[in-house]
Structure 1
Amino acid sequence: MTTIELKNRLKELAIRIIRLVDKLPNTPAGRAIGNQIIRSGTSPAANYRAACLGKSDKDFLNKLKMVEEELDETLYWLELLMEVQLVKSELLVDLYKENEELLKIIVSSIATMKGRMNNK
């Protein structure tokens, strides 16, 4: 996968999260989870863009770790939405799978970058 393709997938994830939050119920739980997931679900795209502009391998790696953390947090909020049934689980399955796949890609990229840095 190219850098451009990954940027686009992360941006699309952010768009899908924004649309999800706009459909959450206007309840204390809906607002609280919405505030959390909109932050964690939109930041990976921005952080990945910043990583691509990293000034060093270490800078790139640190920003990738931020992407990893935010994607993992987004998975948590999606799981919570499914478990408390604020949104029908079947409506979140594809979004959850995409988030999970992106997380695996980032984890793999982190491992590759660590390997490269260790070989220098």
Structure 2
Amino acid sequence: MKENVVRDKSYAFAIRVVNAYKFLCEQHKEYVLSKQLLRSGTSIGANIEEAIGAQSRKDFLAKLSISYKEARESQYWIKLLRDTNYLSGEQSESLLEDAEELLRIIGTIQKTIRNS
């Protein structure tokens, strides 16, 4: 398989989100907010995979747009979990940085495709 930075980074982020979900469930018995993060955080990579297999440029952009929105939603849940003291500042900052990096990459790809 050819190297694909956004696919690899979104997959690594999904793994981190799954581990955060397990931590929140096991250590804090928190199931509602963490489930929201699990859904949005793993959806980023799933939609990138769909974009890679897209049947058209329009389909590619649509899936990429969903990935972008899911990354923004993930940031929201991470901040909420931080501000309600389920995640430490250190845990949340690291996840937020990864989500921000994904947003920058996805945004750049979207801009490039739209301008070409």
Which residue pairs with 1:32 in the alignment?
A: 32
RMSD over equivalenced CA pairs, Å? 1.3
TM-score, scaled relative to structure 2: 0.91
Q: How does 1:99-110 map to 2 (within 5 A)?
A: 99-110=99-110
Which residue pairs with 1:77 in the alignment?
A: 77
CA distance in 2 between counterparts of 1:15 and 1:88 reads: 18
Which residue pairs with 2:45 in the alignment?
A: 45
| CA deviations over 1:11-53 (Å, ceiling 9, x no partner) | 0100000000111111xxx211011000000011111011011
Identity %, equivalent residues: 31
Q: How does 1:84-99 map to 2 (within 5 A)?
A: 84-99=84-99
CA distance in 2 between counterparts of 1:57 and 1:88 reads: 41
Unaligned stretches of 5+ residues in structure 2:
none
Which residue pairs with 1:4 in the alignment?
A: 4
Which residue pairs with 2:68 in the alignment?
A: 68
CA distance in 2 between counterparts of 1:65 and 1:91 reads: 27
Residue identity in the other structure for 1:83: D
Unaligned stretches of 5+ residues in structure 1:
none
Which residue pairs with 1:58 in the alignment?
A: 58
Q: Is the 8 A contact 2:6 2:106 kept in 1?
A: no
Which residue pairs with 2:16 in the alignment?
A: 16
Residue identity in the other structure for 1:47: N
Which stretches of structure 1, 4 residues or longer, exceed 4 Å deviation after superposition?
A: none
Alpha carbons of 1:113 and 1:52: their partners in 2 closer, same or farther (altered >3 Å)?
A: same
TM-score, scaled relative to structure 1: 0.88
CA distance in 2 between counterparts of 1:35 and 1:49 reads: 21
Q: How many residues align?
A: 112
